[in-house]
Every structure is written in structure tokens, then in C-alpha cells.
Amino acid sequence: MDVAGNRSNWRRTQVVRERSAKPSFAGSNPAGAFSYEVEKMRVGKEEVLRIAALAHIKIEPGEIDHYTKNFNEILDFIAQMNEVDTKQVSSAFHPASEPSTPMRADTPQPSLTTEEVLRNAPERFADYFLVPKVVE
Amino acid sequence: MKPVERYEAVIGLEVHAQLSTQTKLFCGCATQFGAKPNSNTCPVCLGLPGALPVLNRQAVEFAMRAAMATHCSFVTPKAAPHKSLFARKNYFYPDLPKGYQISQFDQPLAVNGSIAVQFDEATRKIGITRIHMEEDAGKLLHDSLGQDADKSLIDFNRSGVPLIEIVSEPELRTPEEAAAYCRKWRQLVRYLQICDGNLEQGSMRCDANVSVRPRGEKKLYTKTEIKNLNSFRHIQKALAYEIDRQITCYEQGEAVVQETRLWDADQEVTRPMRSKEEAHDYRYFAEPDLLDLQLTSEWIAAVKQVIPELPDDKLERFRQEYALSTYDALFLTQDQQCADYFEAAAAALSADKGEKERFKEIANWMMGDFTKALKDYAGSFATTKVTPKHLASLVELIATEAISGKIAKSVFAEMFQSGQTPEKIVTAKGLQQLSDEKQLRQIVEKVIDAHPKEVQQFQEGRDKLFGFFVGQVMRASQGQANPRLVNELLRAVLSK
Amino acid sequence: MDKARPSIKDLHARLSQGETKSVDLTQQSLDHAKNSDSLGTLFLSLREGRAMAAAEAADQRAKQGKRLGPLDGIPIAIKDNIVMKDEVATCGSQFLRDYVSPYDSHVVGKLKEAGAVIIGKTNLDEFAMGSSNEHSAYGVVRNPWDRDRVPGGSSGASAVCVAAGIAPLSLGSETGGSVRQPASFCGVVGVKPTYGRVSRYGLVAFASSLDQIGPFSWWVEDAALLLQVIAGRDERDSTSAAQAVDDYPQTIQKPIDGLRVGLVRDFTATDLDAAAEKNFSTAVEAIRGLGAKTVEVSLPHLKYAVGCYYVINSAEASANLARFDGVRYTSRSKDHGNLKDLFVNSRTQGFGVEVKRRIMLGTYVLSAGYYDAYYGKACKIRHLIREDFIKAFAKCDVILTPTSPCEAFPLGAKLENPLQMYLSDVFTASINLAGLPAVSVPSGFSEQGLPFGLQIIAPDFAEGRALGVAHHYQQSTDWKDMRP
């Protein structure tokens, strides 16, 4: 089976974004060294808290150090990627084998019943989901 | 110079149009309005675990129509097949079931088009930056619970309905122009039959980005985004308010804060939105559950075939072919049904001399009595009982002096209610114009004989009494006397 | 007495001839499942009544000579992140502890069509994030070969079910090795299909461009059979491949004489335990003994695979798990004053530590200012990794590696150090990045009596070829006769 012929076009082009550059990764810790000084961290506690807030997760004060440490170890390891010269790589890769997204006809299909829809709702009111008031 | 004259406004509009497909963008749930809450939903549009999106072909075609009608380019590469990508726009909100909206970011459907906006007797071409596809969110209802007013209700029927987002270049300069731009889009989406363009009901929505700058400067100053503009009037008022507010800021040495503001229609002010304090980091990335959207040249050609004559072209054609004024042509082409009605009526006229005047007459009827009746009875040119042929006949009856213009009005009112042909109504009610000279002469002479005093006064110079005699003749003939002949006869008799 | 466990072929014959009944097989499976406390929490739900009813229906069909196929009446367990209508799908999380799915996943539909008897939903690392099944909210799973060791993850319990003989087949899911690695640790066969080969409709998404559902079995031919049933285009999954499905049970019979087998020269000694390395060499020798020719191949970007994998999987997961918010179908935090609290508290209480860690990592790598450096970069490296494989496959028909750098590690050994845990994906994650198929087949035991696995990687849609190598290898070894 000739593999080179299959999937020879890279489907995903890079999402181009004008963003400010992150400070350089010079001097990253080798993957083997796991002892860590909080001060030398790539990502500080405030940043970790900001990311958690963005992800709608709360980190308790007692946990913040632990999360920050793990976070930095992982990021340091990932920073290895910077060794690779990707300037010539024009696109990312998605492993799906079809060249374009399948499309369906505009024909209505049966929906779920309202009971099925609300079956797992933590709180409901008549046929609606119920949440605390949304303030604009 | 007054402050407002020292500055110019820079306005860009984002219009969202709900596409009138049968089903949603990524699933087969029905899009029909007004269903019982949470009854048109499925694992996909509810964002249940394990559900996956599948693209609606018809929605893409509708979007393509909008793009092609505004001369946009399909994106990458330059030659077909073009590729467009979907992306996840990530944020948390209770009406957003997946915690992300499937939208388009990089490589949207179409870019760099333009639309001609007729405003204040001038036409300006406004640039379209991009048109992209995305799914709608569910609907949040507040205050429906009476005492339990600290809760909100969510209905996901609307979640997943297909939208196109149309972003204009910041080339609009006044609130009136902005409203005209929006109206133009409403007209266009209705012509293309892709959306019903109803701002009040929300099938079309408009957000504005507005900044001001000293007149003559080219750089862009801080802009604010204005939301909750749900009528053309509100668009105009809100923009006027905001422009004024920003000018005042600058005049007082304050900075304009980049923020999103809501138009408060009751207080008629804009105010900052509370939930938008934190700047949104949408963390866009290419949607991994969908592959590239490919637009082949065959598909593009097929869609081109179904695009009807567009409003601007039709306007021009009406001016030429029917010798109508721009005003009349604009009125008639505002809406495809109205335009089609006019053309059908025009076609139903018998090929005769005086056609041009008759086109104008048809136009006048449509712009006048007909539109008023439609409004009073909540009708439309598409559903009215008056057929184009009937209208054409009515116009011809007047032109041939079978009935007078005045009588025609009551004939029309009858046509509108009953759907009867004008000929039948005239016959049934004996409304034919009386044009028989002999009979008219008899009536005229009777009137003259009955009012010798007025005759004498007229002959002594009271010209205004002529109208009195006309009136008397009309009364004596139940309003059916041919006014032209009456005039001639009276003049002849009275000048003796 | 036949030392080997019965294959599906054997069971098929017995069921067809009336020697065995599906209700007996199913009852045995259920009883075994209920008496396996020593193996930890294997099942998050057992379908007792419904499974028995399905078994009875299968027996009826057998009596009438109308069996639906080889899987008719066969008990099978499925991982609890694969949804089934009217059954709870917890995904190993507190957040979904009461979530009942209103629809069947595609693979469940296929299993039902084939008459398979689904006995229950197996435990997993929460939302499939983990390599040891220690991150479930419902308790750990223990390796049947040594109960103080992990079974691997995230599909640990599915692997254990087959290893312990509770069911002859099970389904797991893969994102970076979650079928192959537990297969290796538990001494069973595990398959990761080509991306798009099996529909993801109904698989609770972890990383959309990496996820695939895959079979566990004792016999390679059984995995081939199960794969054939669940594979194929599903129009509800836009990433599902239209490629025709091979007759895998047929394909695997083809002898492997002259097959070119690639050996990767880029992993260094430090990547592998000595015992694992020795086991691998022995296995390679055995493959040569079957007529295959080995050739050296290079995958120069392999060392970046784990980092690349973690950036991509966490980015996609951070978005895929945003739907779990306390609003529509998850458990909801009791303490919520306002809407924001509802979201934050529900998610904070609902998700375990590893899941939160992954979500945050994903949020970070996608966030403004960091996108190009992390996610953007990882996507490009993924492209390079894929190209490495394509180039290698120009020289060989399959590539061999050990499935795991080590044998099953003790429970708790890597919990404190997530990065160490991630590194166990070193041989498996690159395959998911490239979208290729791979099979892990048992390749022997360590001195402590813990299993090793041999990984056979094939080009796109050539899982039949990989299964073939695995099949012939399995036939030539004694490992299948061992029991935990």
C-alpha cells in the first residue's frame, strides 16, 4: 500500500495571529531536573491564577504552589520544542483522511423530547433550564 | 466651529443574519420559530458529551449567495477550489452549550466585498471586510418567573441556528448612513431569500463599532462597541448619542475607554456592559471536529444561477424600462414581491399607446392606496386578493375614461376586500362613468336652469362658482359624470 | 484441557451448536465482575438485568439458527466514556456521576446490531486523562498480574476485564496510548485504529484530533473481528473516513514472509528500562524468525512527540471540557450565589486534579500571547512527526517499538510527578499525532512476572497488516497460555 499517495496534502493551515512574542526560552531546565525555585519560574502564581480564572476553575491558596510547580515543570519540558526549526513548515496537520468536510442535506431530523433534554438538568422550571439570574 | 463639526465619526457595523434554512448549522434539528421550549434540540446543539457537528450544505449556499451578491472573494487560495476553515471561539456563558461557539476566524468564507447604500440622494459604496458563518446560541429569558426574579431560564431551540456575520469596513460616517446600510442589508438578504431580515424579532441583529476623530485625520481613535440595537431607529439614536458622548469626552480632556456598551432604549443612553469587564481572550483555534470547507468552481457557478436580479440592478432597470423616477423605482424595488407585482401588472396592460403613463399610474396606485390598504389590513403584495391583472385593468378603465379617478378609489377598496375584478364591480354597482354627451347636456342644462342666481353671479365675474356648478352636476349624476366632459359642457353653456 | 482461553471463534461454534448459552456466558461475566474487588473498581455500572435480557434474545436467535454473526451473544465491556442510551456515563468523574445519555454512540449501535451483550461500563482515568487509571473519581484499578501495580491507563479497567477473563472483549479509547499501554501492562491485545477508522460519535471527547476507540482482546483474531464490526464511515462524525473496511479476520491470515520491518534507531538507552529493552530485542528476533526482514528507520522528531502531544491534547481538551459547567447535565455545586460561582464552583468540585491541570495547561497554550510559541509550534512539529513516519514507511511495511518504556509501575509511584507520568507515552503518543494505526501484542514477562507489549505500527488504514504481524507473532509464542 502506497502511503505517500494518501493524505499528502496538509489540511490545516496555520492560524495566523499577530500577538506579542513571549520572552525567549533561553536557558530552560533539562527535563531531568525537577527541583525548582519558585522565583526562577517561567510562569508565576499570578499567571496561574489568571489562567485558572479564564478556565473557570478556582485554585485554593493551599494548592497554588503545587499547581504552579507542576505547571512550570511541564512547560519547561515542552519548551524543548523550540529546538526544532519550523520556519519552513507552512501548515499544521489534521489526521482526517477526507479532503473536505462532509455536508448534509437540509432535511429536519427528529429531535430529542423535552423530557429527554431536561432529564439530567440540575435545576429546571417547566420546559426550561434554570440558572441564577444572568446580569448583563 | 461647533465641537461636532470639528470631529468626524468612524462607524463600522457587524450584522448577524439568521439564515432561513430548515435545519440548524451542524445538526438536523428544525429551526422553526415559536416551538415549545427545548423541543428542537438534540445531542449536537445541546452540547451533550460525545456529540459532533456536521455541516448543513444549504446554510453554506445561503452564505455564498450573500458573499457573491456583494462581490466578495472566496478566500484561499485565489483559484478554486477555495478553502475555508471553522474555528472554536471559547468563552463561558449559559446560553452557549459547548462552552465554545463554532465560528470562523482565520480563513473565513469570504472577504473584500462592497455594498452600495443609497442615502440622501447619493449612493456610497461601503466595503465589506468579511462574511463568515457561525452558529447561534440559545435564548436566555429573564423575569419570566415573577417572584423568583433572581433566576434566568434557558431555551436551546435557537442554539445551533446558522448565522452569517457581515463585518463592514469602518467607512460609515453618520448614524443615518449606518441605518441606511443596515436597511440595505435587510433588503438584500430578503432578495436573496436567505433571511427574513427582521430586526425586532432578532432574525437580523446589528452591533456597531464607533469612534470619533478630528476631521481630516486618518488614524483611528479608540472605539467602543454598541449592542442591543434592535430597530433602525435605535441604531440611529444610539450612534448619535455615542458619537456625542465621545466628542464630549475628548472636549473635556478625557479618554474614551475601549469597552462594550449597551443601548438602553428607555433611558436613551449607552452604558458599559458589566459582564464585559474582563477582556475576552477567545483562544481561537481551528475546529478539529470539522474538515476544510471546500468551494469548488462548479458549486460557485450553481449558486450564481439561483441569485436573482439584485436590488441595485433592478432599480436601474426599472428606471430605464418603465421610465420611472428614482424615487418611484426605489419604492417599487424595496422588496422583491413588490417589484414582481409591479412587473406583472405592467405586463398585464394591453399593448397600447400611452403605456408609459400607465406604468406611472400603476406605480402611483401601488405607492398610494394599495400600500395604505396593505398596512391597514396587515397584508402583502404576495398575498393580496388584488391580482396584478386586476390592477392593470383598473388603470386602463381610468385611462379610457370608463370610470373617473375618484370612483376608481372606491372600486379599488372593493377589489381589495373581495378580490373581484374591477369590471365586475363597476358593472354590479353601476359605476360607469357617464360620458354620453346628450345625457350630460341634459343634466348640465337642468343644473343651469335650477340656479339662475349663481349663473348671473358667475357671468358677472365670480369665477369660483364654476366649481359649484361642477359639484352640482356630479351630485346629479351620482358622481359618475365624466369630469372632463362636464367641464367642457359647462364652459360652453356658461359662456353663452 | 485446553490451556488457552476460548477465542470468539470457539465461542461462536459452541453457541451455534447449542453447547453453550449466551445467558451462561453473560451470567459468568457478571458474577466474575461482581467478585473482583481485589482488582479495584472495575465497573462503574453493571447492566445486569438488561444484559441478561440481551443474552436471552441472543439465545433465542441461536435456537432458531438466526445468529447475527460471531459476536452474537458474546459479553463485552465498554469504557465509561463511550455513551449508551439510558445508561449512566460518568467518564470516571464526579461531575457526571448521574449523567444518563439519551443516545447511543455509533460503536454501541454497531455492537447491538451484531448482537453483542454489553455487560457494563468500565472505569477509566477521569475523562481519559491519565496513564495509570489512578485518576478516576471512583477508585483505582489494579493490575491482575500484581495487585499493587497499575493496569495502565486511561482504559485500565477495560484491559483488566479481558486480562482477568471477565469478558473476552472490551472497548477502550485512545488519545496518546490509552489502549495500547494498558494492553501492554496487562498482557492483552490492544488496537489503536487509524484516525477516522472508527466513528467518534458518542465518545466523550478528550482531544478531537487524537481520539479513537479501540478493542481489547486476548486473541489477535478477536480484536480483528471486533474492529471489523465497529469500523466504517459514520455520517454523524465529520472526521470519519470513507475508506472501505478490510476483512481483518481474513487479512491477518496472510503470512509475513519477506515483510519489511522498521526498527527505530532514534530512541536512546535512557528511554527504555533494561528489561523492556531486552524483551523488545527478543520479540524482534521472533519476528525475524517468522520471515520478516528488519531495516533501520529514523524518526528524528520522535523526542518532541510527548511535549507536542501534551500541548495539543490539553489545548483541545480545555475546549472540549468547557461544556461541563453545571448548567445542563452535570452535577451542580450547592454553593453558588451568582452565575459565575455556579460555573467556577461546579467545575472546581466536579473535576479531579489531573483534569484541572490539563485544562489549565490547554487554556494557557491557547491564550493570547502564547499561542504561536506553544500551540502553533506544536501543530507544526506534529506535521514534521507525521512526515518522519511517511518517509520511514517508504522503506518498510510496519515499524516495531516497545509499547511502553517499562513494565507496570507500582500504584502511587508516579502520582506526585505528572511529568514522569506523561513520559510513559513516549512510544505511543507519536502514533496518535500522526493518525496512524498500531497494535500492542503481549511479548513476554519481566522477572517480576509483569507483562510487556510489542507495538506494531502500520501506515494509514493498514491496521490489517499490523494485526497480521501481531497474529502470527502471537501464534508463535506461549504468552497467551499464561494467566494472571
In whole angstroms, what separates CA A131 from the centre of its chain?
27
B:280-319 residues touching chain A, CB 8 A cutoff: 281, 284-286, 288, 290-294
The total number of residues shown for chain B amounts to: 496
Check CB contact under 8 Å for B54 and A104. yes
What was the pLDDT predicted at B452? 87
What was the pLDDT predicted at A2? 28
Structural domain spans, chain C: 8-253
Structural domain spans, chain A: 24-95
List of domains in chain B:
3-301 (no CATH), 309-429 (no CATH), 437-494 (1.10.10.410)
Among chain B residues, the shortest Cα distance to A124 is held by B153
Average pLDDT of the residues in B46-75:
97
Nearest to B38 among A17, A109, A128 (CB): A128
Judging contacts by C-beta atoms under 8 Å, the chain C residues touching residue A132 are 336-339, 341-342
What was the pLDDT predicted at A36? 37
Which is nearest to A10 in space by CA: C396, C430, C245, C385? C385
- When computed from its CA atoms, the radius of gyration of chain A, rounded to whole angstroms, is 24
Nearest to C434 among A59, A95, A104 (CB): A95
Check CB contact under 8 Å for B92 and C315. no
Check CB contact under 8 Å for C361 and A71. yes
Chains that touch B (3 or more CB pairs under 8 A): A, C
Judging contacts by C-beta atoms under 8 Å, the chain C residues touching residue A67 are 356-357, 360
C:27-56 residues touching chain A, CB 8 A cutoff: none
Instruction: Give the C-alpha separation, B351 to B367, whole Å.
Output: 23
Residue B466's pLDDT band (cuts 50, 70, 90)? confident
Judging contacts by C-beta atoms under 8 Å, the chain B residues touching residue A11 are 291-292
Whether B46 and chain C come into contact, CB under 8 Å, resolves to yes
Q: Best interface-test mutation with B: which of C198, C238, C348 has the largest number of B CBs within 10 A?
A: C238
The pLDDT profile of chain C, 484 residues, written as one tens digit per residue, is 355 799 999 999 999 988 999 999 999 999 999 999 999 999 999 999 999 999 999 999 999 999 999 999 999 999 999 999 999 999 999 999 999 999 999 999 999 999 999 999 999 999 999 999 999 999 999 999 999 999 999 999 999 999 999 999 999 999 999 999 999 999 999 999 999 999 999 999 999 999 999 999 999 999 999 999 999 999 999 999 999 999 999 999 999 999 999 999 876 655 788 899 999 999 999 999 999 999 999 999 998 999 999 999 999 999 999 999 999 998 898 877 888 899 999 999 999 999 999 999 999 999 988 898 899 999 999 999 999 999 999 999 999 999 999 999 999 998 888 887 888 888 899 999 999 999 999 999 999 999 999 999 999 999 999 999 999 999 999 888 888 8
What was the pLDDT predicted at C442? 97
Instruction: Give the C-alpha separation, B493 to B482, whole Å.
Output: 16
Contacts of C297 (CB under 8 A, 6+ apart): C262, C263, C264, C265, C392, C395, C396, C399
What was the pLDDT predicted at B352? 64
Nearest to A100 among B56, B58, B293 (CB): B293
3 state DSSP class of C313: helix
Chain A with chain B: Cβ pairs closer than 8 A: 146
Q: Which residue has the higher pLDDT, C27 or A29?
A: C27
Check CB contact under 8 Å for B23 and A135. no
pLDDT above 60: residue A40: no
Instruction: Give the C-alpha separation, C478 to C480, whole Å.
Output: 5
Which is nearest to C312 in space by CA: B185, B2, A78? A78
A:31-70 residues touching chain C, CB 8 A cutoff: 31, 34, 43, 48, 51-52, 54-59, 67, 70
Among B387-401, B477-491, C372-386, name the one with the lowest average pLDDT: B477-491
Q: Are B315 and B333 in contact (CB under 8 A)?
A: yes
What was the pLDDT predicted at A11? 28
| Closest CA–CA distance from residue C131 to any residue of chain B (Å) | 21
Q: Which residue has the higher pLDDT, A30 or A122?
A: A122
Among chain C residues, the shortest Cα distance to A78 is held by C307
Instruction: Give the C-alpha separation, B242 to B207, whole Å.
Output: 13
pLDDT above 50: residue B207: yes
Check CB contact under 8 Å for A125 and B281. no
Judging contacts by C-beta atoms under 8 Å, the chain A residues touching residue B29 are 108-109, 111
User: pLDDT tens across A92-103, in order?
Assistant: 688 998 889 999
Check CB contact under 8 Å for B48 and C102. yes
B:461-490 residues touching chain A, CB 8 A cutoff: none
What was the pLDDT predicted at A136? 62
User: pLDDT tens across B293-314, in order?
Assistant: 999 999 999 999 999 999 999 9
What was the pLDDT predicted at A116? 96
- Strand-pair partners of B131: B110, B166
Nearest to A129 among B59, B87, B153 (CB): B153
Residue B57: count other Cβ atoms within 10 Å of its Cβ: 15
What was the pLDDT predicted at B120? 78
Judging contacts by C-beta atoms under 8 Å, the chain A residues touching residue C376 are 14-15, 17, 92
Judging contacts by C-beta atoms under 8 Å, the chain B residues touching residue A136 are 262, 273-275
- Strand-pair partners of C43: C122
Check CB contact under 8 Å for C238 and B291. yes
Average pLDDT of the residues in B29-46:
94
B:72-101 residues touching chain A, CB 8 A cutoff: 76, 81, 83, 85-87, 92, 94
What was the pLDDT predicted at A37? 38
Check CB contact under 8 Å for A131 and C342. yes
- What's the ipTM? 0.95
Whether B86 and chain C come into contact, CB under 8 Å, resolves to no
Q: Which residues of C are catalytic?
A: 79, 154, 178
User: pLDDT tens across B337-383, in order?
Assistant: 999 999 999 999 886 656 677 899 999 999 999 999 999 999 999 99
Which is nearest to A69 in space by CA: C417, C370, C354? C417
CATH of C8-253, one of 3.90.1150.10, 3.80.10.10, 3.90.1300.10, 3.40.50.300: 3.90.1300.10
Judging contacts by C-beta atoms under 8 Å, the chain B residues touching residue A94 are 286, 288, 291
What was the pLDDT predicted at C271? 72
Which is nearest to B50 in space by CA: C115, A111, C211? C211
Instruction: Give the C-alpha separation, B461 to B124, whole Å.
Output: 57
Report CA-CA distances (Å) from B180 to B118, B169, B488.
7, 15, 49
Q: What's the 3-state SS for B329-367?
A: HHHHCCCHHHHHHHHHHHHHCCCCCCHHHHHHHHHHHHH
Whether A73 and chain C come into contact, CB under 8 Å, resolves to yes
Q: Best interface-test mutation with C: which of B98, B155, B278, B283 has the largest number of C CBs within 10 A?
A: B283
Whether B94 and chain C come into contact, CB under 8 Å, resolves to yes
What was the pLDDT predicted at C342? 93
Alpha carbon distance, N-terminus to C-terminus of chain B: 69
Judging contacts by C-beta atoms under 8 Å, the chain C residues touching residue A12 are 379
**Where are the strands (E) in B107-253, listed by range?**
110-119, 122-135, 139-142, 151-155, 162-168, 204-214, 224-227
Whether B149 and chain C come into contact, CB under 8 Å, resolves to no
Among chain C residues, the shortest Cα distance to A68 is held by C357
Chains that touch C (3 or more CB pairs under 8 A): A, B
3 state DSSP class of C259: coil
Residue C446: count other Cβ atoms within 10 Å of its Cβ: 17
Whether C149 and chain B come into contact, CB under 8 Å, resolves to no
Judging contacts by C-beta atoms under 8 Å, the chain B residues touching residue C237 are 52, 54
Report CA-CA distances (Å) from C90 to B17, B70, C44, C51, C211.
39, 49, 8, 19, 18
Judging contacts by C-beta atoms under 8 Å, the chain B residues touching residue C366 are 90, 283, 285
Residue B406's pLDDT band (cuts 50, 70, 90)? confident
User: pLDDT tens across B124-153, in order?
Assistant: 999 999 999 999 999 999 866 665 578 899
Whether C356 and chain A come into contact, CB under 8 Å, resolves to yes
